[in-house]
Structure 1
């Protein structure tokens, strides 16, 4: 376990007061009782809830943007609009548009042996859903799961991150203004609260956060056999083809890296570049970055690393890389005040797997570049490490693209883009292996928070009893002759 993971695990194991536990259990029990009284909300009611949620976000947009800025010391309102507000509204609009079709029972085929009969799958609400939200996109990664859970007809309890208290306050007030706590409620507190929260007997639990804390969440949920969706992270690589123009390649992936100061679970974590083009790639990144974030604008208007703890973690990665022989190149002004928690995009040349920056998810504005000689070597290196949440291919060569698609695993892939697959509402979002379990967004979100109940129905005609005992009759011999072969 790494030092960062040890700190997370220790924080996760704190104790909280019995009064708080009683209050949280009371909220949970209240939602359970409310669900028992309304086990299958109508389409109209679900849409009404979603529309109310959309209206509330629009009404509170300014307050949410200001709160996000405070929680990050500074965060561009444009980045908050794109990453938190637009993405939330888009998911609501998509759900409203498609919910009627999602809710329809699906007809399934019935074999001739079981005729006459009808079969269907009915999507039934699970009940009370728990959502543990992270700090990096505290609006979208709260609202997104909430939209999916409400679309499926559930009650929802949300545990927000202690790192974003200002945003939490707006979200909590906003949600309480449109939903009774028996339908949607927000729980605040530190990691010890998250531990108690994940021990509740939810009908489904979704956690977004680090892989190490995800293990604790899964263990707690397993005690009650609660099904989980884990949205984790990992080291999402960019692979650059030897034939692509590097300015074009950089244009396609750089915003996915710099948005929110790299504090995005699907942010490009490191880059594989043909070894003879590494210097050229560094220059292309520097030119593009400085055109997007001119030095003369200064540090004051730059999105920050969320807090001093995370900032020191990133500095530790850079110090380790330097000590192991890497070249560390900041591409912008470096803040003299560590309390400001600002770091420009910083390129690391000569990175290797012995360095922390190549072992742990970076989750910040650091970009290692790894030179490669063969695509086979890149594939082997990716496959020798935990499966990433995302993989980014920068190439217009179809064979190059297909080779990577066929021979690597990742939660999702972008070809000649980075990160934006997450906001395509009709694509499922989720990890694989160490980067997550399960998926949501769009219809996958609706189905994640629904139970797919099989229904076989028969009318007055019933012939199956012909196969009942006593065995050894001619009908059994005929059945075996024609169907058991």
Structure 2
């Protein structure tokens, strides 16, 4: 039972105490060696998806994890050091310090769209901080989940790292467990369910959700360059990326030109959707049908639909290939603009000026990412600072999450909390404040019975008493 497994991990943690530097470094080294078995991992993930390019898996899942591990191992000793904290003068020469302590047992709910990255990435920060872990793998990737369960539990022992695979009942139970922290990546709707379940036990959460991620193209920015970078970010993993551009805003009069440039880019990136194997599949008939329904709703409301399928190959629910689609003349009332798309469909909308673009973005839930394309760097930075988003890239997409020194996380409707690098270490640590009293201290003056020394000290701290009495 998950409850018994958690109780065992918590009891072990209390008995043995927090692991030291050597044990944490060894854990990160062992994880790096496991992830070096890339051939196995690529085959597992590609099979679970029904088709996903090996290079894409390596670039999007394995490379960020190896980068994160190198960064964590290089900085771990410094992160673990206690740090002096200020003491106010009446307490001198006493000292204060902040000591990072592990939280205990961290629960992680993985996401099917990046089954390795979004499970192991927070795991790295939690291990560096000295925690034990329980991981719940998503049902859509059973082979990857089974491999991680076998290999991680053999590597660390189930009492340190446990991996759970299961159906609806496990999904219901897991967020109700009394973890010391819970991490979830997924939809905003499910994130609310997870947060409510965790709140019953006062379990703090880190939620990486979605929102509607915009790409804003400023006047004067080369459309072909913007289209190339936006479509590259959009079509990786067939748009099944929480930080993929969800819609594009271009200056009025340029919608058709952008659509043409984006269509040309998509054809160049993926000249064959089915036979070549570079284009990722939609791994569920239910997800495929949802994308179809979003397009049909937009079509009924008068939207123009541009399907990109250079070879005219059959793209069906049976083979899981959903061709890239550009949508123009779409209203904000369409479901495409009300929900996160999470697929290879990209609405393109016009805007009149900067204020109109900002107002449109603000009418949607706070996005997990924001992309601004502008050759005027100062204006681009003003745009980024004026819009709420979890993270941002200027003149490109996705790459801000490839930086271990930058935190990853949302704001408002796109999530709670951040991790990556030192931000992850801090997220999964409790910074214990420690006060060390000196041999001589003026605090003896403020203990009863109060006398002249207490009166003198209060006059120094609070100032001379004014007014009656």
Equivalent in the alignment of 1:36: 14
Q: Pick the aligned partner of 2:308 from 331, 344, 361.
A: 331
Equivalent in the alignment of 1:480: 462
| Corresponding pairs, count | 461
Equivalent in the alignment of 1:414: 393
Q: What does residue range 36-55 of structure 1 map to in structure 2 within 5 Å?
A: 36-55=14-33
Pair 251,105 (structure 1): closer, same or farther in 2 beyond 3 Å: same
3-state SS, counterpart of residue 100 of structure 2: strand
1:299–1:342 contact (8 Å) kept in structure 2: no
Equivalent in the alignment of 1:363: 342
Equivalent in the alignment of 2:189: 212
Distance (Å, rounded) in 1 between the aligned partners of 2:94 and 2:405 = 33
Distance (Å, rounded) in 2 between the aligned partners of 1:395 and 1:334 = 36
Alpha-carbon shift at residue 419 of structure 1 (Å): 1.0
Structure 1 residue 378 corresponds to structure 2 residue 357? yes
Structure 1 residue 340 corresponds to structure 2 residue 322? no
1:134–1:161 contact (8 Å) kept in structure 2: yes
Pair 364,255 (structure 1): closer, same or farther in 2 beyond 3 Å: same
3-state SS, counterpart of residue 385 of structure 1: coil
Alpha-carbon shift at residue 36 of structure 1 (Å): 1.1
1:427-448 per-position Cα deviation (integer Å, ceiling 9, x unaligned): 0000001100000010010111
Equivalent in the alignment of 1:62: 39
Structure 1 residue 247 corresponds to structure 2 residue 245? no
1:53-94 per-position Cα deviation (integer Å, ceiling 9, x unaligned): 1111113x2111111111111000111111111111111111
Pair 170,184 (structure 1): closer, same or farther in 2 beyond 3 Å: same
Structure 1 residue 428 corresponds to structure 2 residue 399? no
Pair 89,330 (structure 1): closer, same or farther in 2 beyond 3 Å: same
Equivalent in the alignment of 2:366: 387
Structure 1 residue 260 corresponds to structure 2 residue 237? yes
Equivalent in the alignment of 2:444: 465
Alpha-carbon shift at residue 470 of structure 1 (Å): 5.1
3-state SS, counterpart of residue 207 of structure 1: strand
1:263-319 per-position Cα deviation (integer Å, ceiling 9, x unaligned): 011001000001211111111111211111114874655211121111110000000
Alpha-carbon shift at residue 472 of structure 1 (Å): 7.8
3-state SS, counterpart of residue 327 of structure 2: strand
2:229–2:397 contact (8 Å) kept in structure 1: yes
1:241–1:400 contact (8 Å) kept in structure 2: no
1:151-208 per-position Cα deviation (integer Å, ceiling 9, x unaligned): 0000000000000001111111121221100000111112431220111110000011
Distance (Å, rounded) in 2 between the aligned partners of 1:62 and 1:364 = 26
Structure 1 residue 88 corresponds to structure 2 residue 65? yes
Equivalent in the alignment of 1:405: 384
1:334–1:343 contact (8 Å) kept in structure 2: no
In structure 1, runs of 5+ residues without a counterpart are: 1-22
Equivalent in the alignment of 1:151: 128
Pair 482,385 (structure 1): closer, same or farther in 2 beyond 3 Å: farther
2:273–2:279 contact (8 Å) kept in structure 1: no
3-state SS, counterpart of residue 339 of structure 1: coil
3-state SS, counterpart of residue 261 of structure 2: helix
Distance (Å, rounded) in 2 between the aligned partners of 1:191 and 1:134 = 15
1:386–1:434 contact (8 Å) kept in structure 2: yes
Report the RMSD for the aligned CA atoms in angstroms. 1.7
Pair 325,142 (structure 1): closer, same or farther in 2 beyond 3 Å: same
Pair 482,135 (structure 1): closer, same or farther in 2 beyond 3 Å: farther
Alpha-carbon shift at residue 483 of structure 1 (Å): 11
1:158–1:187 contact (8 Å) kept in structure 2: yes
Distance (Å, rounded) in 2 between the aligned partners of 1:355 and 1:96 = 47
Deviates more, 1:190-199 or 1:206-215: 190-199
2:315–2:322 contact (8 Å) kept in structure 1: no
Please give the TM-score of this superposition, normalised by the length of structure 1.
Answer: 0.92
Distance (Å, rounded) in 2 between the aligned partners of 1:150 and 1:483 = 54
Distance (Å, rounded) in 1 between the aligned partners of 2:324 and 2:73 = 39
Q: What does residue range 124-273 of structure 1 map to in structure 2 within 5 Å?
A: 124-273=101-250
Structure 1 residue 349 corresponds to structure 2 residue 349? no
Pair 114,56 (structure 1): closer, same or farther in 2 beyond 3 Å: same
Distance (Å, rounded) in 2 between the aligned partners of 1:435 and 1:225 = 21
Distance (Å, rounded) in 2 between the aligned partners of 1:329 and 1:211 = 29
Distance (Å, rounded) in 2 between the aligned partners of 1:411 and 1:142 = 19
Please give the TM-score of this superposition, normalised by the length of structure 2.
Answer: 0.95
Distance (Å, rounded) in 1 between the aligned partners of 2:11 and 2:341 = 43
Distance (Å, rounded) in 2 between the aligned partners of 1:478 and 1:169 = 66
Pair 325,285 (structure 1): closer, same or farther in 2 beyond 3 Å: same
Structure 1 residue 317 corresponds to structure 2 residue 288? no
Distance (Å, rounded) in 1 between the aligned partners of 2:220 and 2:320 = 38
2:226–2:395 contact (8 Å) kept in structure 1: yes
Distance (Å, rounded) in 1 between the aligned partners of 2:120 and 2:97 = 31
